[in-house]
Amino acid sequence: MSEVYIAGVGMTPFGRHPNTTSIELGARAVIEALQDSGIDPRRVEAAYCGSVCEGISIGQRVLAQVGMTGLPVTNVENACSSGAVALREAFLAVRAGEHDVVLALGVEHLTSKFAGAITPDETDLETVNGLTMSGIYAMFDPQEEARGLGTFTMLKEIEFATESGCEFYYQGYAYDGHSFYDYKKRLSGTEAFDWKNHWQPL
C-alpha cells in the first residue's frame, strides 16, 4: 500500500456569502489548494467532492469552473460528514494504488437553502416526526430556547467526555455574530480556533 500525504489545502472564509455561488466558493478553495501544493492541475487523476443539498454533479461543475474537466469525479453527500467522507475516499484511492494524485473538496451553501435550522426532507419519516434530528445535529426549535436544550445537550456531552477520560471537549462551531449557536459561547474556559493555527480564549 502507498503512503498518503496531504500536499496542499485551501478554503474560503466561513460566512453567508449571499452574492457568491457554491460553485464559485468551491472553485476558490480548489485553486488555493493547488497553489498551496505546487502541483500542476494536470497531474490530478481523480476528484472526490462532498456536498450538502447541491444537486447532481456538483464536483464536475466546480472543477469545470477552474478548467479541470475529463477526470473521474465521485460525489458524496453525507450531511455534516460529506467533506470528511470525500477525503476518506480520496485517501483510500491513493492508499490502494489506484491513483497517485487526487483532489478532495467539500462545498455547500446552506444559508441560501434554509432560513434557520435545516428542514428535514418530507420523505425522512424519522426526522419529520422529531425522532432523530435533535440527536444528530443537536438542534432545537428556536421557540423552545427558554428550555436551554442546547446547553443541556452540551452538559450531557461533557459528562460523557469526562466519563470517557477525554481531556478536551469540542462543542462544535459557532459564529462571531449573533446566531442560534450563541448558547455554546456561554461556558467559561471556552476557546475558539482562529483558522491561523491558534486557539484564542472567548
Which set of grid coordinates corresponds to residue 194?
A: 482562529
Torsion of Cα atoms, 54 then 56 then 60 then 61, to 10°: -50
Q: What are the structural domain ranges in the chain?
A: 22-112, 139-201
pLDDT tens across 134-154, in order? 444 556 666 777 888 888 888
31-73 pLDDT, tens digit each: 999 999 999 999 999 999 999 989 899 999 999 999 999 999 9
- Structure confidence at residue 131 as a pLDDT band (50, 70, 90): low
On the question of pLDDT at 127 being above 90, the answer is no
Cα 139 to Cα 153: distance, rounded to the nearest angstrom:
9
- The pLDDT of residue 134: 44
Place of cell 480520496: 90
- In the set 49, 53, 80, 166, the catalytic residue is 80
Q: Give yes or no: 80 in active site.
A: yes
Counting residues of the chain whose pLDDT is more than 70, the rounded percentage is 86
What letter does residue 50 receive in the DSSP assignment? E
Residue 91 pLDDT > 80, yes or no?
Answer: yes
Burial of residue 111 (number of CB atoms within 10 Å: 0-12, 13-18, 19+): exposed
- Tell the burial category of 169 from Cβ atoms under 10 Å away from its Cβ (0-12, 13-18, 19+): middle
Radius of gyration of the chain, Cα coordinates, nearest whole angstrom: 19
Quick one: CA dihedral 170, 173, 176, 179, positive or negative?
Answer: negative
pLDDT of 119 strictly over 70: no
Per mean pLDDT, which of 132-146, 148-162, 182-196 is the most reliable? 148-162
The yes-or-no verdict on residue 7 having pLDDT over 90 is yes
pLDDT recorded at residue 135:
47
Closest CA to 56 of 40, 82, 74, 70: 74
Q: Across residues 93-103, what is the average pLDDT?
A: 96
| Topology annotation, domain 22-112 | Peroxisomal Thiolase; Chain A, domain 1 (3.40.47)
pTM of the model: 0.68
Confidence of residue 132 (pLDDT cuts 50, 70, 90): very low
pLDDT higher at 106 or 183:
106
**Residue 60 grid coordinates:** 464536475
